[in-house]
Homo-oligomer: A and B are copies of this chain.
Amino acid sequence: MVIVMAPDAGPSDVTAVVTRVEAAGGEAFVSRGVSRTIIGLIGDVDVFAGLNLSAMRGVGNVTRISTSYKLVSREHHPDRSVVHVRGVPIGPGTVTLIAGPCAVETPEQTLAAARMAQAAGATLLRGGAFKPRTSPYSFQGLGEAGLKMLANVREETGLPIVTEVVGAHEVDLVAEYADMLQVGTRNMQNFALLQAVGAVGKPVMLKRGMNATIEEWLMAAEYIAQRGNLGIVLCERGIRTFETATRNTLDVSAVPVAQRLSHLPVIVDPSHSGGRRDLVLPLARAGIVAGADGLIVDVHPQPDVALCDGPQALVAADLGELSRAIDDLTFYMGRLPSRRRFPRAS
């Protein structure tokens, strides 16, 4: 059961609903959107039906629903959402470029990559300090030292930071430094992590599990939303198929499909899906015209010595063409580059 509060409902109205639901043995999850507050109920629907919730002050609409996700569904929230990361918008009016190194290695490499990203039009800096690696013998990231390097680069460049968190117990630490928390493909169904990032009150980028259906992805987003955090950006990054010419198969259809089911922004990762530098540009273009609200791209000043995913990182020489493509196709889609709206991203 989901309750959409009226536009003019106040905090005390919300509290009253929650109190009544809990008194009846149910649980109420409150999510505050830009214009509306939504309350998701868990418990006995027949009991809720007897509470006369629709008659309470501030309640706009009460619906019995059967889908497995409610708060992130577009059914009760027809307008697509905009998520702001320190003032940088990700949503239906813009195409936001997030760029940076796969892994933070040194201050110099991070700053050089950030400068490259910025020159290409990026308004958010990506960079991994905690790396989830399939083999325990691969480079696992610099940890907090890497977060500090990112923070210094933010200071220097004004670019807000997007960085991955790989365990629930590290969420608080990462959130101290990051402007947006990333949940990676291998953790899409790490429910403890989803709940932890939901509770922390910073925007979250949720990458699609490489084996997850779109519906499972939205249910994972619902775990975050249930803790009161609707600042979620979905990221399509390729799914696992039998094809071996590419690392994964970019499911470009997932962009319009997810946008039809959910009000959350959807971006595309053309670097990790193909796993090949030569595919970044065509997949970036394809993502934008399929309707993506942004891109996240690996760049590295010297990919040959990168500690992580070097073969797919763009170098400086690639960025001019990418930048022009983003500009042109953003315009074609009737959107604005997010940088034009926000000349200083800090």
Contacts and interface: CB of A to CB of B under 8 A. Distances in A.
Interface of A: 42, 68-70, 132-138, 166-170, 186-187, 189-193, 209-211, 213-216, 219-220, 222-223, 226, 239-246, 249-257, 260, 273-274, 278-279, 282-283, 285-291, 328-329, 332
A200 to B, nearest CB: 14
Copies held by the complex:
4
Contacts of A138: 68
Given A211-B242, A279-B256, A329-B289, A68 B219 contact: no
B252 A283 contact: yes
Contacts of A242: 211, 213, 239-242
Given A68-B137, A332-B328, A249 B257 contact: no
A222 to B, nearest CB: 5
A186 B190 contact: yes
Contacts of A222: 135-137
Contact of A187 (B189, B215, B286): B189
Nearest to A29: B136
Given A260-B278, A279-B257, A286 B192 contact: no
A69 B282 CA distance: 25
Contact of A210 (B135, B211, B255, B328): B211
Most chain B CB inside 10 Å of its own CB: which residue of A192, A286, A329 = A286
Contacts of A211: 209-211, 240, 242
Question: What are the 10 tightest A-B residue pairs by CB atom distance, in nearest-first order?
Answer: A167-B192, A211-B211, A68-B135, A186-B189, A285-B289, A286-B286, A282-B290, A286-B290, A135-B219, A256-B282
Candidate in A138, A168, A282 with the most chain B CB atoms within 10 angstroms: A282
B134 A219 contact: yes
A274 B250 contact: no
Contacts of A187: 189-190
Contacts of A193: 167, 190
Given A136-B223, A209-B211, 16 more contacts: A134-B219, A135-B219, A135-B222, A167-B190, A167-B193, A168-B169, A168-B192, A169-B192, A187-B190, A214-B243, A241-B249, A246-B253, A250-B253, A260-B278, A282-B289, A286-B289
19 contacts: A68-B134, A68-B138, A133-B191, A136-B191, A136-B219, A136-B223, A166-B192, A167-B191, A170-B192, A187-B189, A209-B211, A213-B245, A214-B243, A240-B242, A249-B249, A250-B251, A252-B252, A252-B286, A255-B282
Given A249-B251, A286-B289, A243 B213 contact: yes
A191 B290 contact: no
**Residue among A214, A222, A250 having the largest count of chain B Cβ atoms under 10 Å:** A250
Contacts of A244: 213, 244
